[in-house]
Structure 1
Amino acid sequence: MQPHERSFYLAAEARRHDPDRYLCALFAPAERRDAVLALVLLHHELARVPDVVSQPMAGYIRYQWWRDALAEIDQGEGPRRHPVVLALAQAFREGWVAGPALQALIDARERELDEVVAEDLPALERYVAATSGALQAIIYRALGGNAPAEAEAATAIGTAFGLVGIARAVAHGMRHRRQSLPAGLLRPAAAVDEASTAQPLAGAIGAVLERVEALLTAGRARAGRPTRAVMAAFLPATLAAGYAVRIRRLDCDPIRAAGLTRPATAPLQLLAHVLLRRP
């Protein structure tokens, strides 16, 4: 696969599987865009494993494939002939991506195979921080960022974006008999009104959105005004804030929240944030 063919593949697949992060990646400097898109697709591949396997062992095998592929390129071995691995191999050679950070991302995702639902909101937030939050910090470093405060801001923003994604996906989880919301948020409300699931779910989603808003406020304050070269790492804050506002306008109804799509004005909003250097 030629470099231009790989770039086309990465862009097309990221747009299909993770359109919001794909849009943010478009604002990355051209020479680093493939690395960011590869990270987005790696995150997608890791996140979807529990949904595509019927047995945990099959999931462990998939995670081990990625673990071995990344270890090989970290050790300087020839990369496997997979577009994502090839793009990450180049990022490794340039020193943009560190192997331990990606291995930690795999470890965090692998725990989902145990199908353990977080007992409370702090536990859920810790899990999302280790996955979506960690991804955003890795993207920040892949863009050349090296300020600890900005890396922490990227983690907070990535965590907020991941929590919004969970709030939007509640209805999807219900259809597949999977519960992603903390059990501790649901039980008290369910005890009050066992005949209805809408009320406890809306209350739980509202609690998640409170954390989203707090994380965005903290992340934006911590980031300050990053350089335009790394702004792509902070753009999910704009999308997450927009989704949170719209979900609240729908009274946190899980069915209606699942139908939300990105507004047509989002690219212009992101461009404005890049030009102003405002996460």
Structure 2
Amino acid sequence: MNFEPGSDLYACAQIVERGDPERFAAAMASPVSARAVLFPLYAFNVEVSRAPWVTQEPMIARMRLQWWHDALGEMASGGFVRRHEVVTPLAQALAGVDVVPLQATIDAREADLDRAPFADEAALLDYLDKTSGGIAVAALVALGAPRERADSVLPIARGAALVRYLQAVPELEARGKLPLPDGRPEALARLAQARLTEMPRSLRALRRSFGPAGAALREFALARPLLQVVARDPGAVAEGRLALSEFRRRWALLLG
């Protein structure tokens, strides 16, 4: 595993550090062997999530998403895989892993091209499941967890994805996107409370139950405390202050 400057893994780590600081911190808290899986996956997520926003032309954005879809198809075929600083280490990390959840992640990003809000709460939750959930399942399986067990983390992945999405609401609105099917404070509080109810209470216990593969769950360390903020103070979403103090953030990451 080569994390030296100039290597593909180093490039992936830089992409994640710039584009997804919380996942970067989670990966850095994991064993080096796990980072070789997590950084390519998280870099893939950054690149795919960025694709709908780097151009005003929907057709070009769809072409970018299709490029990643095709790259995953090459991995699934077991033949030629294009040379790329993210694709190459991602193919190594996902050797023998079903890439269908990641292809569903790409397909779900089509929703970001539509500036209209999600039709309803179910559509929003489906989007969250396919984006964050697909990454989490792939990471667990690539680190050795059985696929049927990996699917059990989807509720906590959904809660973490909701937090990240709500944190992005002010920026999405500034870009002309109507992000929420119902943005009223009482609806947001109810949405957050529902996610808290379905999530396991102890992330640390869940992570330990997965053994070495549990490193993939460190990215969810801030989900519960931030959902609790939304549940009691939903106005924090529209006002762009959905965050923890630096002390609480570090403490949650440590415990996670």
Following the alignment from structure 2 to structure 1, what is the Cα–Cα distance between the partners of residues 203 and 127?
Answer: 21
**1:36 corresponds to:** 38
Q: What amino acid is the match of 1:263?
A: E
User: What residue number does 1:7 align with?
Assistant: 9
> Quick check: 2:189–2:233 contact (8 Å CA) kept in 1?
no
1:110 aligns to 2:107 (yes or no): no
Q: Name the structure 1 match of 2:236.
A: 253
Deviation by residue 1:208-264 (Cα, 9 ceiling, x = unmatched): 312331232389699485134122222233211122233455453334444636734
- Report whether the alignment pairs 1:210 with 2:210: no
2:94 to 83, 92, 95: 92
Moved more, 135-144 or 236-245: 236-245
Match among 209, 220, 231 for residue 237 of structure 1: 220
Matches within 5 A, 1:30-179: 30-93=32-95, 95=96, 97-146=97-146, 148=148, 150-179=149-178
- Partner AA of 2:136 in structure 1: Q
- Kindly indicate whether the alpha-carbon contact (under 8 Å) linking 1:167 and 1:208 is maintained by their aligned counterparts in 2: no
Q: Structure 1 CA distance, aligned partners of 2:129 and 2:53?
A: 21
TM-score for the superposition, normalised by structure 2: 0.85
Shift of 1:125: 0.8
Q: How far 1:120 sits from its partner (Å)?
A: 2.0
For 1:32, the aligned partner's letter is A
Give secondary structure in 2 for the equivalent of 1:125.
helix
Compared with structure 1, are the counterparts of its residues 51 and 219 closer, same or farther at alpha carbon in structure 2 (3 Å cutoff)? farther
C-alpha distance in 2 between matches for 1:55 and 1:173: 17
- After TM superposition, the runs of 4+ consecutive aligned structure 1 residues lying more than 6 A away are none
The alignment partner of 1:167 has SS state of helix
Partner of 2:199: helix, strand, or coil?
helix
Does the CA contact (< 8 Å) of 2:189 and 2:232 recur in 1?
A: no
Larger radius of gyration: 1
SS of aligned partner of 2:176: coil
Q: Secondary structure of the residue that 2:126 maps to in structure 1? A: helix
Determine helix, strand or coil for the equivalent of 2:200.
Answer: helix
TM-score, normalized by length of structure 1? 0.79
8 Å contact from structure 1 (residues 145, 230) kept in 2? yes
Task: Measure, in 2, the Cα distance between the counterparts of 1:64 and 1:171.
Answer: 28
- d(CA) in 1 for partners of 2:249, 2:189: 23
Distance 1:15 1:3 in 2: 14
Number of residue pairs matched by the alignment = 253
Q: Which amino acid aligns with 1:9?
A: A
SS of residue paired to 1:54: coil
Q: 1:53 to 1:204 in 2, by over 3 A?
A: farther
Cα separation, partners in 2 of 1:174 and 1:86, compared to 1, 3 Å: same
- For 2:129 and 2:85, the matched residues in 1 are separated by 27
Cα distance in 1, alignment partners of residues 235 and 162 from structure 2: 14
Are the structure 2 counterparts of residues 261 and 11 from structure 1 closer, same or farther at C-alpha, using a change threshold of 3 Å?
Answer: farther
C-alpha change, 1:221 and 1:244, in structure 2 (3 Å) is same
Change (3 A) 1:230 1:27: farther
